Structure 1
Amino acid sequence: MTKILFKTNRILSAVLTKCKYSTAAKSVATVQINGKEFISDDYTNVTPKILSYLGRNLHLEKNNPLSLVRQRIVNYFYSSFTQRGNPLFSVYDNLSPIVTVKQNFDDLLIPLDHPSRVKSDCYYINRDTLLRGHMTAHQSELLKAGLDNFLMIGDVYRRDEIDSTHFPVFHQVDAVRSQRKDELFHDKPDLEIFEPTFDPNNPFAFPNSIDDPMKQSCHTLEATKLMEAQLKNHLIGLVKCLFGKNIKHRWVEAYFPFTHPSWELEIYYENDWLEVLGCGIVRNEILASAGPNNSIAYAFGLGLERLAMALYKIPDIRLMWSTDSGFRSQFENVDLNAKIKYKPVSSYPQCKNDMSFWLPPNLTIDTFMNNDFYDLVRDIGGDIIEQVKLKDKFVHPKSKKHSLCYSIVYRHLERTLTQGEVNQVHKEIEKAVVDNYNVVIR
């Protein structure tokens, strides 16, 4: 067995002590995560490899570029919003990533048929519980706690493709800012947040509509436009703080189930437009469910990895997880606003192996789940997997058998891999694919 596989097996063994699968009385399968037991079911698809990332909290890790960006964002909000000399925004950066389906979807008005709910997109512990797909999953609980202005920062989990810009775990900053009439219209007391036909004391008697692209039907146009102006000014200020006052930007209309109207902010970066965040006016139903409905709010969400990779010219998202001193030292004891450009510690070559297989009769090239395959590859190969791409689909004209071919790119971040090491890992992946999907390797 190669050193790579020994390292991978040690990682998996360590994880299995934290995440133990067991069978209790009455043959009920359970999964234990950090000492808490969950009943597993047909939705359970979280893997030991994914669970090994819980608790790393890269956004709080010293000398990590994600932590630098987090601090810059927090400092911007602390300095831009004060009340009697104190920061207006509170920060929550250590919330548990294990949430309910209600928190992650229902509380945010995400429809039952929305694609973000499907198993191929989420890491489910069971039908009712999952690893959060966005930090917005904590929005309602913080609103119900009586908070008006807050930042939520943490790790989120989504099943996705494998390449240099995608990883199943990444980090988000989400924020909410709400205002009552006296705060929003402090100099124009004759203006109102809500339309005359809407009773804020009985909000669900009024069916709030989002048919008008300009506003929610419960809100006045004046309140929506003033909140929009504040939101956009604050976020433009944030990207200028991060990327410089001359950064080019533009707003693009967008759709999110939990805000209306909604926008995305793009910046002109390296001769192309790069989306950096999504935002909008919080749906009034969410505020009404959280408590007294006498305010209007805006919200936004952004990914720390995308910003850090752009700011520091980091070419591979996996580097965020590196413990190599050559990488970490570049972000050690530096001024938060310093213009750091990542310098490669060394350039290690890629190794590419293709994998082709015939699918069993119960699967087709359209029903085979790519994300299931990606998770399996990552579980076996660990962090030496740089990219997995579907290379070819084929249906045999006579036998009608379905075949898939994937290209797997291997690269270690800290040393050169030999082809022999890669071939050994590749064989392990082939065996796992055969065992899990009953395929026939071509």
Structure 2
Amino acid sequence: MRKLFNTQPIFSAVLFRCKYSTAPKSVATVRLNNKDFISDDYTNITPKIISYLNRNLHLQKGNPLSLVRQCIVKYFYSSFTHRGHPAFSVYDNLSPIVTAKQNFDDLLIPADHPSRAKSDCYYINKDVLLRAHMTAHQMELLRSGLDNFLMIGDVYRRDEIDSTHFPVFHQVDAVRSQSSKELFGEDQDLKIFEPTYDIENPHNFKNSISDPMKQSCHTLEASKLMETQLKTHLLGLVYYLFGDDIEHRWVDAYFPFTHPSWELEILYEGKWMEVLGCGIVRNEILVNAGPSNSIAYAFGLGLERLAMALYKIPDIRLMWSTDSGFLAQFNTDNIQDKITYKPVSVYPQCTNDISFWLPSNVTTDSFVNNDFYDLVRDIGGDIIEQVSLKDKFIHPKSKKHSLCYSIVYRHLERTLKQEEVNQVHKKIEQAVTDSFNVVIR
């Protein structure tokens, strides 16, 4: 699971207006899901990214992401019941188009946080973007009065290109809230909040996260009991997916919207692999959602990472395959079947390098790699297997800066000919020249 916490648009607004909108030509817009959005200098969403909208792989029968989704939902349905019914509600078809307020402000993400950068997110305009995490819907569901819910869907982040990273992936996020009675039972001596916390006027309380053990509004007993529940429930999920003998460890973490926070790692093929992030929901979020005397925990995990580990899938692009030989392997009525992916066929790679001189006002350190990656992906599509920065160079006399990238091409369903790769590569060279004002070496 990629963490949220951790330029100029490649395509002009005019391009979007012409290709994706029927609005008057005097207004530059981006058309998504039959709606026009006014573009601005934040607009960096590309046609290739737009093409992934509404695919909903997590809901498609025969897709490995759907199997993992069903396993997770089944675990929570069976583990938490209320009067004979599942305690958790599931929301798996929420629109990926969200406001910056939903994606950042509602979750206490600071204005200067790097996750807000155009180099990290796909912005439709300054105020609207494709969600970077399913947590973007947390506030709206809390405000609707929900206590326990799962949010499942596709999320979008600009990133490097390799076998484990893709600009679109799928997440499960969840929230579980409890009142004092639900948490402590009939014990009247135990409380969720410290005596200094004013339940009647919660906005007057300045909550602090300086104590690594808890938020200042919470009692230690409430925080520790929620931590125990959270870790027990999530370990149960990991055991349910990977078996009882899987080794694990908890790592302290930081997320703006939870405190304390942790990451859960499992020992997979001899290496520690992060599978989820979690923590106690910041009380400010619950207060802003409406009257609340509860405490809550939340977690988020990536479906692709789990599916690749569970089914030994070597390339994240395979999740998007429509090849019947791939999908048939996951077409089962028993979602807990032990499935190991068998390659339909193996096709060779083609590798081409691209080197260019940067404009005089751009350095090798200021050039945004993700801008280049997006351009390459948009031109080359899904035959782009990996892009890596191969070399940085500064000419000793002219002081010009140069970059060299290695682009690996491979089709998942047929052999690529070097001639057709060269044609695509030339298109990338031309697009890089036009978009970034560089000179090909």
- TM class by shorter chain equals over 0.9
Identical-pair percentage: 78
Distance in 1 separating the partners of 2:292 and 2:31: 39
- 1:34 is displaced (CA, Å) by 1.6
Q: Deviations 1:68-126 (Å, cap 9, x if unpaired)? A: 00000000000000011100000000000000000000000000110100000000000
The equivalent residue for 2:330 is 331
Q: Deviations 1:359-381 (Å, cap 9, x if unpaired)? A: 11121111111100000000000
The equivalent residue for 1:351 is 350
Q: Deviations 1:111-168 (Å, cap 9, x if unpaired)? A: 0110100000000000000000000000000000000000000000000000000000
Distance in 2 separating the partners of 1:279 and 1:82: 22
Paired amino acid for 2:315 = D
1:246 is aligned to 2:249:
no
Distance in 1 separating the partners of 2:33 and 2:403: 38
CA contact (8 A) 1:19 1:34 kept: no
The equivalent residue for 2:260 is 261
Paired amino acid for 2:421 = V
Paired amino acid for 2:264 = L
The equivalent residue for 2:390 is 391
Distance in 2 separating the partners of 1:326 and 1:337: 20
- 1:24 is displaced (CA, Å) by 3.7
Distance in 2 separating the partners of 1:29 and 1:17: 5
Distance in 1 separating the partners of 2:429 and 2:168: 25
Paired amino acid for 1:189 = Q
The equivalent residue for 1:309 is 308
Distance in 2 separating the partners of 1:197 and 1:371: 47
Secondary structure of the residue aligned to 1:423 is: helix
Which stretches in structure 2 are left out of the alignment for 5+ residues? 1-14
Secondary structure of the residue aligned to 1:238 is: helix
Distance in 2 separating the partners of 1:127 and 1:406: 30
Q: Deviations 1:179-205 (Å, cap 9, x if unpaired)? A: 001100114221000000101221111
Paired amino acid for 1:30 = T
1:400 is aligned to 2:405:
no
- 1:334 is displaced (CA, Å) by 4.4
Which stretches in structure 1 are left out of the alignment for 5+ residues? 1-14
Paired amino acid for 2:364 = I
CA contact (8 A) 1:79 1:87 kept: yes
Distance in 2 separating the partners of 1:349 and 1:18: 37
Equivalent positions of 1:153-168 (< 5 A) are 153-168=152-167
Q: Deviations 1:283-307 (Å, cap 9, x if unpaired)? A: 0000000011200000000000000
CA contact (8 A) 2:17 2:29 kept: no
Secondary structure of the residue aligned to 1:174 is: strand
Distance in 2 separating the partners of 1:137 and 1:34: 19
CA contact (8 A) 1:19 1:51 kept: no
- 1:22 is displaced (CA, Å) by 6.5
The equivalent residue for 1:39 is 38
Equivalent positions of 1:205-244 (< 5 A) are 205-244=204-243
CA shift in 2, pair 1:90/1:16, >3 Å: same
CA shift in 2, pair 1:392/1:347, >3 Å: same
CA shift in 2, pair 1:23/1:441, >3 Å: farther
Q: Deviations 1:338-375 (Å, cap 9, x if unpaired)? A: 11000011110000000001111121111111100000
TM-score when normalising by structure 2: 0.95
CA contact (8 A) 1:353 1:408 kept: yes
CA contact (8 A) 1:201 1:293 kept: no
1:20 is aligned to 2:7:
no
CA shift in 2, pair 1:50/1:327, >3 Å: same
Distance in 2 separating the partners of 1:232 and 1:48: 41
CA contact (8 A) 1:99 1:137 kept: yes
TM-score when normalising by structure 1: 0.95
Structure 1 runs of 4+ aligned residues shifted over 2 Å read 15-19, 21-25
CA contact (8 A) 2:17 2:23 kept: no
Distance in 1 separating the partners of 2:123 and 2:416: 33
The equivalent residue for 1:322 is 321
Distance in 2 separating the partners of 1:65 and 1:149: 26
Distance in 2 separating the partners of 1:201 and 1:251: 36
Secondary structure of the residue aligned to 2:299 is: strand
- 1:46 is displaced (CA, Å) by 0.3
Distance in 2 separating the partners of 1:200 and 1:138: 25
CA contact (8 A) 1:264 1:276 kept: yes
The equivalent residue for 1:114 is 113
Q: Deviations 1:199-248 (Å, cap 9, x if unpaired)? A: 12211111000000000000000000000000000000000000001111
The equivalent residue for 1:51 is 50
1:294 is aligned to 2:293:
yes
The equivalent residue for 1:12 is none
Secondary structure of the residue aligned to 2:181 is: helix
Paired amino acid for 1:422 = V
- 1:17 is displaced (CA, Å) by 10
Secondary structure of the residue aligned to 1:427 is: helix
Paired amino acid for 1:423 = N
Secondary structure of the residue aligned to 1:171 is: strand
Paired amino acid for 1:438 = N
Distance in 1 separating the partners of 2:371 and 2:235: 39
Paired amino acid for 2:147 = D
Distance in 2 separating the partners of 1:403 and 1:326: 43
CA contact (8 A) 1:18 1:35 kept: no
Quick check: 94-103 or 184-193, which moved more? 184-193
Paired amino acid for 1:357 = F
The equivalent residue for 1:191 is 190
Distance in 2 separating the partners of 1:328 and 1:334: 13
Secondary structure of the residue aligned to 1:147 is: coil
Distance in 1 separating the partners of 2:420 and 2:119: 30
